[in-house]
Amino acid sequence: MEKLRIVFLTFWGVGHLLPMVEAAKRLLHLEGNHFSATFLLARLPSQSSGSAVASYLRTTAASGLDISFQELPPVEFPVDTEGPEDFISRYIEAHKSHVKVAFASLSSSATVAALVFDFFATTLIDVAVEVGVPAYLYFTSGAVMLALMLHLPALGEKNPASFEDEEREVDIPGVIPIPSQSMPYPLMRNNNRIYGWFVYHGRRFFEAKGIIINTFAELERGPLTAIEEGHCAPDRPAPLVHPIGVDWGRKH
């Protein structure tokens, strides 16, 4: 029986790449007879941990699991960026044509069943739609942050710049009210472009066929329930959420 290939797309960053690789390894340990995994990687211009990450990827590729890594061709770096979130979002978007070529190459040797994309790679959903492959989000943060991201487009209509100058409580479905001054740091910057990217990504999360999240229901039942019941964006269909974390307190 032919294995189905799952393509993972992220950038060369420890906090995003390694959790996604570990999720792929877990999938292959459980369903390795049915799936293979290929990572398409966008290398950032400077990585202090580059050698350590490269060593980790080599060890993973030699582990016996059907997992491989393919670095995308370089692109021109965005100019006049206003912070790392702006840079990474625009940088990954610039890889669209390379991702499309990679899909064509990978599809010639195996059926590509899905694209699993990173938080900052929502612009590449367009490529998945064009080639007819379902796209899934892998969310490295917890369900509280996911609930915020899914609710952010609605909040963005009321807070078009940031929460930096607000002194109030922010209501997020399934989460206790959060003081505006305690919102995530990127949303606290008085920067329309960075805030705009977060609103953009949050809106496009709904286009994913499902959201894979590194948590478990016993830990974050409130926000997960709010997401699954459609409270984060009542005017849109609730996304399918797949928690893949392990409740170690129960397992051990």
For the question of residue 118 being annotated catalytic, the response is: yes
For the question of residue 242 being annotated catalytic, the response is: no
238 within 8 A of 228, measured Cβ to Cβ: yes
What is the SS3 assignment for 88?
helix
Q: Which is catalytic among the residues 86, 95, 118, 151?
A: 118
| CA atoms of 234 and 138, how far apart (whole Å) | 22
Q: What is the DSSP letter of 137?
A: E
Q: Residue 105: count other Cβ atoms within 10 Å of its Cβ.
A: 10
Q: Which is catalytic among the residues 16, 95, 151, 201?
A: 16
| CA atoms of 238 and 151, how far apart (whole Å) | 11
| CA atoms of 12 and 95, how far apart (whole Å) | 13
Environment class of residue 158 by beta-carbon count within 10 Å: exposed (0-12), middle (13-18) or buried (19+)?
A: exposed
| CA atoms of 93 and 142, how far apart (whole Å) | 24
Which sequence positions are flagged as catalytic?
Answer: 16, 118
